[in-house]
Amino acid sequence: MKIYLASDHGGYALKQKIEAALEADYSVADLGCTSTDSCDYPIFGKAIGEAVVDDSDSLGIAICGSGIGISMAANKVPGCRAALCYSVEAAKLARQHNGANVLCLGERTQSLDDHLDIVMAFLGTEIDDSERHQRRRGLLDEMQ
Ligand code: RB5
């Protein structure tokens, strides 16, 4: 499975650390940004949403300072289900119930260890295909 990463400047440092943690076990593609110079999170939210929707065997991790702006941007892309997760439990539920394909993180909100636990929970959890969850995800798709 391919993992796409993207961030603005507020998530750049965490993106680099997550890339280092994942590259031994996953094929990782970094969509930017490339430094801590100020940049605009909607550009990178759009990029990761489009990349994950175009590549069905992939997941994304998108990071900004809070995780809020980049999640809003990614969710504008039809087919992208971006979930901002501040806990391991939320990351598991985002995959199981909501079928999230992009995990959003806020660099300023957690320790590195907590972020890495959230990432591993997200990547290690499968989508729950029970009828009620499929129905609800289908209703989400109809809204796009
Ligand atoms: C950048 O300062 C900050 O606003 C951005 O990273 C993010 O938190 C926006 O939601």
Per residue, the 3-state secondary structure of 66-126, as one string, reads CCHHHHHHHCCCCCCCEEECCCHHHHHHHHHCCCCCEEEEECCCCCHHHHHHHHHHHHCCC
C-alpha closest to that of 39 among 6, 14, 1, 72? 6
Which residue's CA lies nearest to atom 4 of ligand 1? 65
Fold adopted by 2-142: Ribose 5-phosphate Isomerase B; Chain: A, (3.40.1400)
Q: How far is the CA of 74 from the centre of ligand 1 (A)?
A: 14
Overall pTM > 0.85: yes
Q: How far is the CA of 130 from the centre of ligand 1 (A)?
A: 36
User: For the chain, what are the domain ranges?
Assistant: 2-142
Q: How far apart are CA 10 and CA 36, in angstroms?
A: 7
pLDDT tens, per residue, the chain with 144 residues: 999 999 999 999 999 999 999 999 999 999 999 999 999 999 999 999 999 999 999 999 999 999 999 999 999 999 999 999 999 999 999 999 999 999 999 999 999 999 999 999 999 999 999 999 999 999 999 997
